[in-house]
Each structure stands twice: as structure tokens, then as C-alpha cells.
Amino acid sequence: MADDNEVLSDFDERLLQGVFARVWRYLGDSADSSSLVTKARSHQELKNKLELAVGRTGIDVDTMLSDIDDYLNESVKTSHPHFMNPLWGGTDVASLAGEFITALANTSMYTFELAPMATLIENEMVDTMLKLVGYKAGEGIFTTGGSNGNLLGLLCARDRKFPDAQRVGLVGKQLVAFISEDAHYSTSMAANVIGIGLDNLITIPTDESGTMITAELQEAIGAEKRAGNFPFCVIGTAGTTVTGAVDPMNELADICHQEKLWLHIDAAWGGATLLSPKTRSLLHGIDLADSICWDPHKMMGVQLCCSVFLVKNSGTLRKVCVHTEKAHYLLLGDAEDNDLGHMSLQCGRRVDALKLWLAWRAKGNEGWASQIERYFSLADYLVTKVKEHSRLELVVEPSMTNVCIRYIGYRLNESQQDSITAEIRKQLISSGRFMVSHSQINGRPILRAVIANPRVDEKVIDDLIDSIVEIGVSLSPK
């Protein structure tokens, strides 16, 4: 076996030692709730502070470690207990280990020959998730995220409606698909990419809980048919981005069955609820969908990026991700049945399955179940605290662990409530105390706190409430 000293230069060895020493320090610093979650510097301030240009000659290792320190110091602490902003957070150390090992072994997922164990691991993870969904003869592939999963769903749907379209294009046939008004914006990008046009993604209204109104869907499908257009797909959401609403999947499946439409479910956020016997009923009917995307990098907390696209009938992906014969130098070997490159829109593809597999091996099914249940119970705790507080309003009863809050204060009119709610978020972030996101519900600003970070606990939630109210009171007319 080669001695490390022969393999690595002094620069490389000191760099790696320096990097690994920083892993412990960074994780430790991020756990400290008295530290800032973000420095919230402006773009200009940060640009002025840093020296980012690359030079004619290389730098020494100490300068490089100092660059890395700058990077870590300026990063948002996404594992900080007060990080509750997007639909993910925290550091899952087993999946972090998977990220290191993926980068260390540095391969690409297109062929079994180049990624032997990685291919088997990806197969195993896909099979495990297919079973959880209830697909008996399905298949799947890891993608870069729910956005690309939604794109693949729409592409599969187009292929079922007009299989020739992949060869000859849409040739004047106006395809139309349907989403709810609360669907993720990636569905619009997908409509753009597959060439149906943004205007042909028909938006269906939602009820007060944020779920698609199926009677409106039925009417819209009829109207499009009467106009001579070709409905081909409904995209439902299992866990919408802002309120966590779950579209009624059984009803959507009935409509799609009757109208011969593809049903794609965007479960990027809500898919994780399948992992606990206590929450999986939220996704009742998901097995009726034709395809699903599910992001382990959201509620499961696997390091970014980790996302899976699942389809009910195997054989679909190979047909949809057609490569023609041009990939003869890569994909047409003896082992082609095992080559996942046939089932992906990517050529080079990271080994994202490894980190999910390591995280799953570390936790087991029971570990996932308790993680998801803990998040739901913390969301309940936050909901109760908000409801109990006379200056706060729970804007929607959550189905998932995103909690939408408005500051209503004391004797404030709607416009004051709105401006104070928006300002509270700005101050939480500019002070580096908390990161929660903002959004609008019915045209009015809200604060959205998401429980998807293992470092959030009851004390953090109490502190969040206190901080929101303290800022709200300070901004209110005296």
C-alpha cells in the first residue's frame, strides 16, 4: 500500500488536514444558539470585503485555508438552531459522510461499469421508496431536485399523450396541463422547457386550506377540450411550499382516470411523511399517481442535493429519456440493462444515492419515523404557542410542518399588521437572530417558520415567539 506521503504533496496533505479540522469547528460553532445564524451582509459590503480574483500564480496552503475560513465565516449557518427558513436545515452527519465519500470516489452515475456499487445502492434506495409509495412495478431515478422531478413528470405525461412528439415535436397540437395556484414555480419552468408554453399551464384555484378545488379542475379540463386543446397532465402537490397543503389525491386520480390524463404528484416536501405510520395517511392515494417526485434533501434532512423521481410503470424512463444512438461510446455496452444513464436526463450525474443510503442505514426506518414525528410535534407546539398569543395569528392550519404566522398586535389595522409583519422578518434576519421566510397569503404578508432542522426544539420555538413579539411591539404605534 502506498504511503500517504508519497501520494499527497505537502500542500494537499496540509490542506486536507486543515479542512477536516474545520469540519468539527464549523459543526460546533453552528450548534451555538447564542451565535448569529447569518451575518446578513449586503452584496456590496461582502464584495468589498473579499478578494476573490484568481491570480497568475497559485497561492500557498495557509492562504487557501484562510479563503476557506472566509467562506465558512460568511456562510449562513444552516445547522444553527435558529435556521427555520427553507424546507430543509441541519446537518445529517451520515449523509455528510456520504457527500465526502462521493466526492472522494468521484465518479458519474451513467454506467454500471463506472459506478458499480453506486448503481446497486441507487437501485436499492429507489426500490425502498417505491415500496413506501405503494408502487408494485415502478422504477425511479435520482435527479437534481424536485424541480427536475416535476419536469420529468411532465415529460412522461407528454410522452404518453403524444409518443411521437419526442421525434417530430408538438406539430401544432396545443397541450395543456393543470396545477393548483399554490403549486411550486418549477412547474412553470417545466412547462416552458417541454415547450407547451406558460399560458397552457392552467392554474386551478385553491380553497382556504390551500388545496386544489377539484370541481374547478373538472370544469377547466372541459373548457380546454371544448376549445380544441389537448389536456394531458394534472400536477397535484403533496405539501405545498408555503402552507404545506395536500391536494386531494384520490379525487385527482379519479378525474385523471376518467379523462385519461397523467397524474404527477409533487411530493418534494411531503414525501417524507410516508416514513412514519403516524403521518403517512396524509398522503393517502399517492399510489394512484402515475409519477411522483420526493426530495430527501427537505424534511429528511439529507445533504443537498438529493431528490428522487418515481414512476408507476417501469420502462417509462428509458423511453422518455431517449438518447438516440449517439451515446454509443458510453451507453451501449453489454451491461446496458444495468446502466442508469438510460433513465436520466443528465449525462454526468453525481452519486446522490450514497448519502441517502448511509443516512438510512444509520437511522433505520424507525429513526426516520421518529424524526418526522418529532418535527410534527414541534410544529404542533409552535401552532399552539401562536394561537395562545394575543398578538399573533395562525394564518392557516398546517398539514405539514410549515407554520404561517402574522403579527396582529393590539388595535392595529390590516395595513399596519402587514407592514409590521414584513418588517419583523427583515429585523430577525438583519440582526442575525432567526431565519424564517416570508410569503403572501391572499395578498397579505406572513412569516413562515419551517420545522425541518433537528436542532429546533421547544426552547428555540419559545425564543422565536418572544423575538417576533418583541420586534412587533417595538414597531407598533405607542
Ligand X SMILES: Cc1ncc(COP(=O)(O)O)c(C=O)c1O
Residues in touch with ligand X (CB under 6 A)? 87, 145-147, 184, 186, 237, 239-241, 266, 268-269, 295, 307
C-alpha cell at 228: 380544441
Distance of alpha carbon 398 from alpha carbon 244, whole angstroms: 6
Closest CA to 402 of 435, 437, 371: 437
115 vs 308 by CB, closer to ligand X: 308
36 vs 189 by CB, closer to ligand X: 189
283 vs 465 by CB, closer to ligand X: 283
161 vs 448 by CB, closer to ligand X: 448
CA angle 79, 81, 83 (to 5 degrees): 70
Shortest CB 46 distance to ligand X, Å: 24
Shortest CB 184 distance to ligand X, Å: 4
Shortest CB 425 distance to ligand X, Å: 18
247 vs 287 by CB, closer to ligand X: 247
98 vs 146 by CB, closer to ligand X: 146
270 vs 409 by CB, closer to ligand X: 270
Q: For the residues of 145-185, what is the DSSP string, one character each?
A: -HHHHHHHHHHHHHHHH-TTHHHH--TT--EEEEEETTS-T
Identify the bridge partners of residue 394 per DSSP, sorted by sequence position.
Answer: 405
Phi, psi of 16 (to 5 degrees): -65, -40
Q: Which residues of 50-68 are buried (b: 16+ CB within 10 A; e: fewer)?
A: eeeeeeeeeeebeebbeee
* DSSP strand pairing (262-266 vs 230-237): parallel
Shortest CB 439 distance to ligand X, Å: 11
Distance of alpha carbon 424 from alpha carbon 422, whole angstroms: 5
Shortest CB 238 distance to ligand X, Å: 8
Distance of alpha carbon 48 from alpha carbon 180, whole angstroms: 43
Identify the bridge partners of residue 231 per DSSP, sorted by sequence position.
Answer: 176
CB atoms closer than 10 angstroms to residue 437: 19
186 vs 401 by CB, closer to ligand X: 186
CA atoms lying within 13 Å on the CB side of residue 26: 22
Closest CA to 195 of 176, 217, 181: 176
Shortest CB 150 distance to ligand X, Å: 6
Task: Give the C-alpha distances (Å, rounded to integers) separating 391 from 288, 341, 398, 466, 476.
Answer: 43, 55, 19, 11, 11
81 vs 271 by CB, closer to ligand X: 271
Backbone conformation region of residue 308, classed left if phi is above 0, alpha if psi is from -120 to 50, else beta = beta
Q: Which residues 6+ apart lie within 8 Å of 160 measured at CB? A: 232, 262, 290
87 vs 343 by CB, closer to ligand X: 87
Task: Give the C-alpha distances (Å, rounded to integers) separating 406 from 2, 246, 422.
Answer: 62, 22, 9
Shortest CB 58 distance to ligand X, Å: 35
145 vs 341 by CB, closer to ligand X: 145
Shortest CB 323 distance to ligand X, Å: 23
Residue of minimal CB distance from ligand X?
145
Shortest CB 376 distance to ligand X, Å: 17
Distance of alpha carbon 192 from alpha carbon 189, whole angstroms: 5
Q: Which residues 6+ apart lie within 8 Å of 153 measured at CB? A: 190, 233, 235, 262, 264, 266, 290, 291, 292, 293, 309
CA angle 296, 301, 302 (to 5 degrees): 60
112 vs 269 by CB, closer to ligand X: 269
85 vs 241 by CB, closer to ligand X: 241
Shortest CB 86 distance to ligand X, Å: 7
Q: For the residues of 200-234, what is the DSSP string, one character each?
A: GEEEEPB-TTS-B-HHHHHHHHHHHHHTT-EEEEE
